[in-house]
Structure 1
Amino acid sequence: MKKIGVLTSGGDAPGMNAAVRAVVRKAIYHNLEVFGVYNGYEGLMEGNIKKMELGSVGDIIQRGGTILYSARSEKFKTDEGQQQAIEQMKKFGIEGLIVIGGDGSFRGAAKLTEKGFPCVGVPGTIDNDISGTDYTIGFDTALNTIVDAVDKIRDTATSHERTYVIEVMGRDAGDLALWAGLANGAESVIIPEEKESFESVVAKLKRGQERGKKHSIIILAEGVGSGLEYGKRIEEETSMETRVTVLGHIQRGGSPSGYDRVLASRLGAKAVDLLMDGIGGRMVGIQNNLVVSHDIADILKQKHAVNMNMYNLSNQLSI
């Protein structure tokens, strides 16, 4: 291949810019032309595509979000939309595409590959909900954002002797909640994969109160339900003064951690290597600190599994 494209799609994640930088500079190092696609698949269909140079990705490795912007597109899910995207890439002479995003983005990459246009997926999502990789780009940064926020909340929870319910992101995956719960010493972690009963959570709170515990932290994954409703139920059941914090989109922003920058750089470079070898329909990932690749179609059939050993450890340490 002589010309490749790169886009970011779905929810933004810290480290996406580092991945874009790696793709652009690795490609140029190997004398390939690289084109940035703006606004995800929507921009791909509209031909919002520009050639990128070394300077195009200067001073972005430390920036959160994505300089290529991101958008969701219903039209691209149709055969007509996908064909329109391919025609746009043909106009620019683009022969392969690197897609940085989550499972929805990978479905688009798989469809383009089926139509004979090779794509490689790079997992970029704070949810860490992609199979075939131990970590996704953005997860580590989002986790540390949560840990910092909960540390601060614990200070005021201690001062006022309150119970706090903290709702975190993760969609249908509990990784952010679980890792944050273990890192912050939460009394309970509520995740979609293993829903601790409300009665169990209340019993744990009451046991703590009986032994003189003055405050409690409960971390709730958004995929389980509303933190506001959960906090209200706790206060009604226990009469403990309860406050709720929904961390929201603060978890997606901020400068990427060192780990996310390195991960993004390694995965972005590997994606270029695959396209240079004429290989599409793959997703790159990290497993046991080794960069690997898997068939995207196979990955999309698998459901991400939370680490139950960590979940059990969290329960054991929060007695």
Structure 2
Amino acid sequence: MKRIGILTSGGDSPGMNAAIRSVVRKAIYHNLEVFGIYYGYAGLINGDIKKLEIGSVGDIIHRGGTMLYTARCEEFKTLDGQLKGIEQLKKFGIDALVVIGGDGSFQGAKKLTEHGFPTIGVPGTIDNDISGTDFTIGFDTALNTVIDAIDKIRDTATSHERTYVIEVMGRDAGDIALWSGLADGAETILIPESEYNMEEIIARLKRGRERGKKHSIIVVAEGVGSGVDIGKEIQDKTNFETRVTVLGHIQRGGSPTASDRVLASRLGAYAVELLISGEAGKMVGIEKNQLVYHSIDEALAKKHSVDEQMYQLSKELSI
């Protein structure tokens, strides 16, 4: 193996640049050439590929987003699109590929491996919804962004004695909602993995008001439903002044935390080590602070699960 490629795909996450830097410099350290593939699988199909040097990844470890840009690509889901991508890899003499992204990106990496092209996946998504790793690159940064926002909203909630519903990202996974809600003392946390009972929520809010509590915070993962609709229902049933904040894409941006920078650096370097050792069709991860790898097939087949004990704790502490 003489040349490896690297691309980022799907939604961006803070720490992707740190992972790119790690892959490039680890590979060059082992006398490999590295080629950056711009705009994800769409760029792969179009041949938007350039050689990267040590200096190409200088001054990016602290930057959010991805210097390689990213895009979603329906064409790569087809056999024709996949073969076009492999042709481009062969054209540039690239022997193996590192893919940084979430489950959709891993689906593409799986297909490349099935076509005989060695690929390693690096989990980069703020949702923390990839099986086979305790944490994904970008989750910690997004979590801290949400916590900072809720802290500020709580100041206003206290001043105006209001109930606030805060909608966070998480279409299929409730980790952002659960972790931020627990960290910020939310009275209620709604996640896609667990059904909720609106009457119980209303009863909890009323109990709090009866004992003198003047404001409440409710964190809702977007996969549960519209925060606006939930807020309206709460106000209609309690007559408490209720406001809704949808945090949206602010959660994806920003300088990565120290945790995400270190995680990205470790996972990126480990991906290169696996390629050098002849592995393919694997994803790297971290479990109990130890680097691990699993087959991408296994990671995709096993559904991410939320920490039920943590969710129960959030309920016990919000009485």
Q: Same fold (TM over 0.5)?
A: yes
Residue pairs, 1:132-211, within 5 angstroms: 132-211=132-211
* Alpha carbons 2:9, 2:41 under 8 Å: kept: yes
| Paired letter, 2:229 | E
- Deviation per CA, 1:280-319, whole angstroms, max 9, x where unpaired? 1000000000000000011110000000000000000000
1:15 is matched by which residue type in structure 2? G
Report what 2:238 is aligned to.
Answer: 238
Is residue 222 from structure 1 mapped to residue 229 from structure 2 by the alignment? no
Counterpart mapping for 1:98-137 below 5 A: 98-137=98-137
Structure 1 counterpart SS, 2:231: helix
State the secondary structure of the residue aligned to 2:76: helix
Tell me the alpha carbon deviations over residues 194-230 of structure 1, each in whole angstroms, 9 at most, x when there is no partner.
1221111111000001111000000000000000000
Letter in 1 for 2:6: V
Shift of 1:170: 1.4
Kindly provide the CA deviation profile for residues 114-165 of structure 1, in whole angstroms up to 9, marking residues without a partner as x: 0000100000000000000000000000000000000000000000000000
State the distance in 2 between where 1:258 and 1:207 align: 40
CA distance in 2, matches of 1:38, 1:195: 40
Q: Note if 1:312 corresponds to 2:312.
A: yes
Distance 2:277 2:84 in 1: 26
* Letter of the structure 2 residue corresponding to residue 143 of structure 1: L
Q: Find the counterpart in structure 2 of residue 45 from structure 1.
A: 45
| Structure 2 residue 282 is matched with structure 1 residue 288 | no
Distance 2:260 2:302 in 1: 24
**Equivalent position of 2:7 in the other structure:** 7
**Letter in structure 2 aligned against 1:58:** G
- Displacement of 1:277: 1.4
Q: For 1:303, give the aligned amino acid.
A: K
Q: Give the secondary-structure state (helix, strand or coil) at the position aligned to 1:292.
A: strand
Q: Per the alignment, in what secondary structure is the counterpart of residue 245 of structure 2?
A: strand
Amino acid at match of 2:310: M
Superposed CA RMSD in Å reads 0.4
For the Cα contact (< 8 Å) 2:45–2:88, is it kept in 1? yes
The equivalent of 1:247 in structure 2 is 247
Structure 1 match to 2:270: 270
Give the Cα separation in 1 of the matches to 2:126 and 2:195. Answer: 21
How far residue 171 of structure 1 moved from its aligned partner, in angstroms, is 1.5
Q: Which residue of 1 aligns with 2:82?
A: 82
Counterpart residue identity of residue 277, structure 2: D
Distance in 2 separating the partners of 1:89 and 1:229: 48
Tell me which stretches of 4 or more aligned residues in structure 1 moved more than 4 Å: none
* 1:36 maps to 2:49: no
Confirm or deny that 1:258 pairs with 2:258: yes
Q: Structure 1: any 5+ residue segments left out of the alignment?
A: none
Q: Letter of the aligned partner of 1:83 in structure 2? A: L
Q: Which string of whole-angstrom CA distances, capped at 9 and with x for unpartnered residues, describes residues 222-264 of structure 1?
A: 0000000000000000000000000000000000000000000
Cα distance between partner residues in 2 of 1:170 and 1:130: 12
Q: Partners in 2 of 1:118 and 1:236 — Cα distance?
A: 56
> TM-score of the superposition, structure 1-length normalised?
1.00
Residues 63-90 of structure 1 show CA distances to partners (whole Å, capped at 9, x for unaligned) of 0000000000000000000000000000
SS at structure 2 position matched to 1:145: helix
> Could you tell me how far apart the structure 2 residues matched to 1:194 and 1:118 are?
38
Aligned amino acid, residue 261 of structure 2:
R
Give per-residue Cα distances to partners, 1:19-43, cap 9 Å, x unaligned. Answer: 0000000000000000000000000
Give the distance between the partners of 1:195 and 1:185, measured in 2 at CA: 20
Retained in 1: the 8 A contact 2:190–2:196?
yes
Task: Tell me the TM-score normalised to structure 2 length.
Answer: 1.00
What is the CA–CA distance in structure 2 between the aligned matches of 1:45 and 1:280, rounded to whole Å? 21
Q: Distance in 2 between matches of 1:202 and 1:114?
A: 51
> How many Å separate the matches in 2 of 1:16 and 1:195?
33
Q: Which amino acid aligns with 2:280?
A: G
| Residue number in structure 2 paired with 1:67 | 67
Aligned pairs for 1:10-21 (under 5 A) are 10-21=10-21
**How many pairs were matched up?**
319
